[in-house]
Structure 1
Amino acid sequence: MEKEKLAFLQIHPKDNVLVALRDLPEGYTLRFQEQAITLKRAVAAKHKFTIQAMEKDAEVFMYGVLVGKVNAALEAGELIDVHNLRHASEDFTLGKRKLDWVQPDVSAFQGRSFQGFLRSNGQAGTANHWLVIPLVFCENRNVLTLKDALEEKLGYQVEAKDYKQEVEALIAQYQGGASVEELLQVDLNAAAVKSRKSRLFPQVDGVKFLNHDMGCGGTRMDSDALCGLLAGYICHPNVAGATVLSLGCQHAQASILRAEIRKRDPNFDKPLYIFEQQLEGTEQDLMQKALKATFAGLAQANTQKRQAVGLDKLCIGLECGGSDGFSGISANPTLGYLSDMVVALGGSVILSEFPELCGVEQELSDRCIDEPTAERFMQLMKTYNAKAEADGSGFYMNPSPGNIRDGLITDAIKSAGAAKKGGTSPVVAVKDYPELANGPGLNLLCTPGNDVESTTAEVAAGANVVLFTTGLGTPTGNPISPVIKVSSNTKIYEKMNDIIDINCGTIIDGEESIADAAHRLLNYVIAVASGEQEAKAVRLGQDDFIPWRRGVSL
């Protein structure tokens, strides 16, 4: 009996399919609700199978919501796959407010703090960075020149293999007459890891260079949104100040950037240096002024030190990438429980990726604190999906080949599991890209499902830590906010533990509860926020930064 309990899971009492928790062979017979079900085909772990006979076009439910319709009549015990299931989701309307929620026990974290950088506006950073930003892609080369000049000399070069020593070892073997077969067998593990030089400015965690391919040549909407996004980074509590390089003639004007900064922080008082190449003259004049300003800014930033601040200063971005069939029953619910804890402690959380909320709109809109907030959420969802449909790619096209291979057959299945990251607390605000979304409580932020674009946007919206769940393994991070990777299964954690911080496969393995995993994760978040623990994405220098062009990106 115990073996059968570990073999499958019904996520919600309304569900008419079960999830295989381990590989189940063809002909395997299990008992569920007093009935014997024999599998018609092998069902791999993470995939689903029917618990009753279904007529053609019958509805399939998971997580208690509609996730698809079957394309043909199916027997009980039939594997659900891309051939016999198509996307379907419920319509949504303005409903009654459902604001009651059961707050988790947070007594273990009451009175706790983290060591953060307190800013003059009352926000607190989990890191202390200086930014170097181009307002337009024309300045990317100059930004890279500054990076080359500053990064190594100041001790901010990533502490990781650059693989040059491995290449040298291969060259030596080749020059020594090694054959092709021998080259393939060379042991490269002995190559030394380069040690990071000691930092000249120990209180500054990094100088971050945010190159991009926008600022001109596109729509004014995109260039204005870029200015808003960059303003979000400059105003971010993890940032001490910034150097901005502008050409001068582009759509993304310095005046627009300044206006966006004032919109986010009317009393902005960080050091900000903006240089326009067409005003400065020669490249040398521009670069020398930018170097002096950046160096002086770093000296000023180095006077800031960590101090104890309450957990209400945490703003957690919730993200997923490379999701699998276990994400919605282990890692994502763990984030949901942690989200509720952070809200109960007075902190902020941000749930984004609107294409991955398809099918759960009714629940989320009903959780909005008032009708105008619910109406804005529904309007953003409808507008986004309509734009996607008009371009020939609706939300139903969101699941990737990897998602589908590992059990996320339709967008509604993926969305129902992804939404679990948001917990159960009321939605206090709905924001559009690239607005701030850092008010206390659960905030919804309209972003693409593209994990790097979404993470980039969440940080601009105020997230000072990002929790990123993955079932397949995703090597990504952010320049200024630590991105903590959380695996949905033990196999991927053990296979890719160089990029994954926390394993929630322990829930699938029956080793701990969702609540226990959430407590363990929040303790890790506090250590990272305090600078006591380095997230693996930070250690590897995974500084991914992709602004969203406001077109269709799923």
Structure 2
Amino acid sequence: MDNKQFFLQIHPHDNVLVALQDLPPGTEITFGDKQLRIISGVKAKHKFTMEALAAGADVRMYGVLVGKTNEALQQGETITTQNIHHAAATFTLGERKLAWRKPDVSAFDGQTFMGYHRSNGTVGTANYWLVIPLVFCENRNVLVMKRALEDRLGYGKRSRDYGPEVDQLIQLYRSGATVEGILNADIAASDAKGARQRLFEHVDGVKFLNHEMGCGGTRIDSDALCGLLAGYITHPNVAGATILSLGCQHAQASILREEIAKRDPQFDKPLHIFEQQLLGTESNLIQQALKHTFTGLIQINQLRREPAPLSKLCIGLECGGSDGFSGISANPALGYVSDMVVALGGSVILSEFPELCGVEQELSDRCVDEPTALYFMELMKTYNAKAEADGSGFYANPSPGNIRDGLITDAIKSAGAAKKGGTSPITAVVDYPGIANKPGLNLLCTPGNDVESTTAEVAAGANVVLFTTGLGTPTGNPIAPVVKLATNTKLYERMPDIIDINCGTVIEGEETIGQVAHRILRYVIDVASGLEQPKAVQLGQDDFIPWRRGVSL
């Protein structure tokens, strides 16, 4: 049997192997000088023991502790949520381990992307105008503006209209069809609707953000919201913004302006703030907002894409709907991309702190200095303690889908998720909702929740987000292109409408991690230049969820 085709040992110190395809009961394999016999069958992506383990024994993957056995396990036995539980090694302040092997980036030396240069030195991969409510009370008025502007300006997405399908169902019902008859009926698909021609050629869109915050919660949350919104307004992909305020809410316009000044002291983008309680009627508010938004669009339409070095890229690293292949295909490929971007002088953001549980020692040792390492350790301990106090520590992070596809403890999930960060030194550790665009690898404290974390990464400065998934998720962002990478070929083929790049070729032995990484970076350059549109952008997948600073895993 060709062992490489059927299973993998990720790290030499691991005592479990990963099944690369289904292994039925009784399968006999050879690993080094060991002869193993699969006891009860192992599904692809799941793990099985290399040797017999006593009750309470360590389970190791990626070279780190990922669990403890609940009972004695035989050699060749599948590990499950019943026979092991989450465990992670303790961590302390250690010696700096800053040496790393820079990847060969000669293929990208001197390359540029075509971006929008801002006065503060950042470069956008897109050119958007934002319409944002300071408080949930203004959500309706934002939607009124969206209905008035989006299609007429040519920013409505080409989408399939499911109305004709509903018409057919109505006709079946009126003709007396049974429930079974309706469910089995052959419904003809309708064509996609075309969008109007764009009025402003050099404006990529007007993005209308809604949220459920700004008042009624804690002042910490409303202040954080202002910081998050300031991150979007000052973002290099944004050229101007319209803000709708009620007037009496916690999230005051004055706080927003202070947060903008913290992030960009010389802020000079067009910014229009309208307070409904001062302007009076809805019609007065909407008309004023429409006029200033329209004239702002005229102004930013004068901007043009110009060449920019790859050092102006700020890449957000994200994963969601992860599976047992995430840590051995797509995530390591992103780690290689991360190291390449750092070697080229760019910035990378690794977030999702609940999914760094178990690899704290390695990451803290990679921090450039002791204060940075101590800050990371403090954030991790504080976050987990808050989760524990609320009855749900980091151990509760894996979702049912994660568990079903092989990620049965948080430490297993985390060890694979951390591979997205590559091997370079960590230059900064930033708490939410701060800016994390320092050259090199930045750690940003966010939840593991896909949308909350992506929302925060973009506010922190990411002008492109690379998002790996093993199960499939449509997550996108209003202002930053989100590139979806499949960990396995089956997913890539099953969900081509939301996946951009297949990393399953690594599992199949068709490409190396480095080859996939080069393919990803070339695609990123095209996306950053406006030459390619990721599926999330094509679908208008504008997910935006601010983090309430409570427990979110």
2:38 maps to a residue whose letter is: L
Following TM superposition, by how much is the alpha carbon of 1:281 offset from its aligned partner in structure 2, in angstroms?
A: 1.1
2:251 matched residue in structure 1: 252
2:286 matched residue in structure 1: 287
For residues 529-553 of structure 1, give each alpha carbon's deviation from its aligned partner in whole angstroms, at most 9, with x where no partner exists.
1111110001111100000000000
Residues in 2 aligned to 1:274 and 1:159: alpha-carbon distance in whole angstroms: 31
Contact 2:161–2:190 at 8 Å: present in 1 too? no
2:199 maps to a residue whose letter is: L
For residues 122-174 of structure 1, give each alpha carbon's deviation from its aligned partner in whole angstroms, at most 9, with x where no partner exists.
11111111000000001001001001111111111111113123223433455
Residues 434-513 of structure 1 correspond to what in structure 2 (within 5 A)? Answer: 434-513=433-512
For residues 165-201 of structure 1, give each alpha carbon's deviation from its aligned partner in whole angstroms, at most 9, with x where no partner exists.
3223433455566554554344445411101110111
Contact 1:317–1:466 at 8 Å: present in 2 too? yes
Contact 2:70–2:82 at 8 Å: present in 1 too? yes
- SS of corresponding position for 1:133: strand
Length-normalised TM-score, structure 2: 0.99
Following TM superposition, by how much is the alpha carbon of 1:483 offset from its aligned partner in structure 2, in angstroms?
A: 0.4
Indicate whether 1:392 and 2:388 are aligned: no
1:275 matched residue in structure 2: 274
For residues 435-492 of structure 1, give each alpha carbon's deviation from its aligned partner in whole angstroms, at most 9, with x where no partner exists.
0001110000000000100000000000000000000001110000000000100111
Residues 22-421 of structure 1 correspond to what in structure 2 (within 5 A)? Answer: 22-175=21-174, 180-188=179-187, 190-421=189-420
Contact 1:165–1:192 at 8 Å: present in 2 too? no
- SS of corresponding position for 1:223: helix
- SS of corresponding position for 2:467: strand
Residues in 2 aligned to 1:475 and 1:242: alpha-carbon distance in whole angstroms: 26
Between 1:263-272 and 1:195-204, the stretch displaced more is 195-204
For residues 90-148 of structure 1, give each alpha carbon's deviation from its aligned partner in whole angstroms, at most 9, with x where no partner exists.
00000000000000010111111111111111111111110000000010010010011
Identify if the C-alpha distance between structure 1 residues 337 and 281 changes in structure 2 by more than 3 Å, giving closer, same or farther: same
Contact 1:246–1:277 at 8 Å: present in 2 too? yes
Runs of 4+ in structure 1 deviating by more than 6 angstroms, as ranges, are none
Residues in 1 aligned to 2:195 and 2:505: alpha-carbon distance in whole angstroms: 34
- SS of corresponding position for 1:508: coil
Residues in 2 aligned to 1:42 and 1:313: alpha-carbon distance in whole angstroms: 49
1:43 maps to a residue whose letter is: V
For residues 224-244 of structure 1, give each alpha carbon's deviation from its aligned partner in whole angstroms, at most 9, with x where no partner exists.
000000000000000010000
Residues in 2 aligned to 1:534 and 1:185: alpha-carbon distance in whole angstroms: 36
For residues 345-395 of structure 1, give each alpha carbon's deviation from its aligned partner in whole angstroms, at most 9, with x where no partner exists.
010000000000000000000000000000000000000000000000000
- SS of corresponding position for 1:381: helix
Residues in 2 aligned to 1:175 and 1:540: alpha-carbon distance in whole angstroms: 34
Contact 2:17–2:48 at 8 Å: present in 1 too? yes
2:546 maps to a residue whose letter is: P
Residues in 1 aligned to 2:188 and 2:292: alpha-carbon distance in whole angstroms: 42
Between 1:185-194 and 1:38-47, the stretch displaced more is 185-194
Residues in 2 aligned to 1:178 and 1:390: alpha-carbon distance in whole angstroms: 55
For residues 378-426 of structure 1, give each alpha carbon's deviation from its aligned partner in whole angstroms, at most 9, with x where no partner exists.
0000000000000000000000000000000100000000000000000
- How many matched pairs? 553
- SS of corresponding position for 1:507: coil
Contact 1:12–1:62 at 8 Å: present in 2 too? yes
For residues 30-83 of structure 1, give each alpha carbon's deviation from its aligned partner in whole angstroms, at most 9, with x where no partner exists.
011211110111100000000111111000100000000000011110100000
Identity percentage over the alignment?
Answer: 73
Contact 2:500–2:535 at 8 Å: present in 1 too? yes
Residues in 2 aligned to 1:81 and 1:369: alpha-carbon distance in whole angstroms: 38
Following TM superposition, by how much is the alpha carbon of 1:308 offset from its aligned partner in structure 2, in angstroms?
A: 1.1
Residues in 1 aligned to 2:389 and 2:248: alpha-carbon distance in whole angstroms: 33
Residues in 1 aligned to 2:170 and 2:538: alpha-carbon distance in whole angstroms: 28
1:400 maps to a residue whose letter is: S
1:230 maps to a residue whose letter is: L
Length-normalised TM-score, structure 1: 0.98
Once superposed, what is the RMSD of the aligned Cα atoms? 1.1
Residues in 2 aligned to 1:397 and 1:466: alpha-carbon distance in whole angstroms: 26
- SS of corresponding position for 1:197: coil
Residues in 1 aligned to 2:118 and 2:354: alpha-carbon distance in whole angstroms: 34
